[in-house]
Amino acid sequence: MNYEKLQFNLNAYKETGEILDAARFLIHQFDLDDENFLGFGFREELEKNSILLTANGEIGDMQKVLIPRNLFDFDLTLVLNLLAHEMLHVRQKSPKMMIMDKNEREWQAYYEMLFHTNFPQIPELSDYYKNFFGEKALIYYGRMDEGTELQLKYSEQKLEVERLLQDIKNKTI
């Protein structure tokens, strides 16, 4: 993927205010689209340096991903990982998957941001973001009822996340 050309195209969309089109462009360029995806819409921006995307819709229904208008003011690698996170939620809420437990959905989506098992074409995050999203993943793992089948299902992945976080920590010592 030629990131200079990609950024050039995104800047053109941004200059003309076509933020939703830019997001659609990215999900097509990175093969993130899904038959359960209804489209993009806007959500309120948080703060200038905070970003939040959400997949909205009932489980089993089509999903709309809401993005802030300032989405492309952020690092492209971060944006791509956040889009992959939400597009995984689109799949998880589809009639094919219907993952009912929010903690499981979030665990899977944060794990995806760290290891790219569903979307290997998405670029790797910096250690800063890996640490941030790894910690978030562990929070959702911890919210699963302790010792349940659900936690056991992801126990090996939890160890992978913990090893990744330890490796990052060891780099900074």
Q: Return the biggest CA–CA distance within the chain.
A: 52
Residues 54-76 pLDDT 10s: 999 999 999 999 999 999 999 99
DSSP letters spanning 74-87:
S-HHHHHHHHHHHH
Where helices occur in the chain by DSSP H, the ranges are 3-15, 19-29, 76-92, 102-115, 127-143, 149-153, 155-172
Q: What is the CA radius of gyration of the chain?
A: 16
Task: Kindly state the tokens that stand for 60.
Answer: 């089993």
Residue 36: alpha-carbon gap to chain centroid: 16
pLDDT at 1: 65
Residues 86-145 pLDDT 10s: 999 999 999 999 999 999 999 999 999 999 999 999 999 999 999 999 999 999 999 998
Residues 15-69 pLDDT 10s: 999 999 999 999 999 999 999 999 999 998 877 788 999 999 999 999 999 999 9
Residue with token string 């492309």: 72
User: Alpha-carbon distance 76 to 37, whole Å?
Assistant: 21
Contact 158, 108 (CB under 8 A): no
Identify any residues that bridge with 29 across adjacent strands, giving them in sequence order: none
Contact 134, 114 (CB under 8 A): yes
Identify any residues that bridge with 42 across adjacent strands, giving them in sequence order: 67
Give Cβ neighbours of residue 55 (< 8 Å, ≥ 6 apart).
63, 64, 65, 86, 87, 89, 90, 93
User: Alpha-carbon distance 162 to 135, whole Å?
Assistant: 9
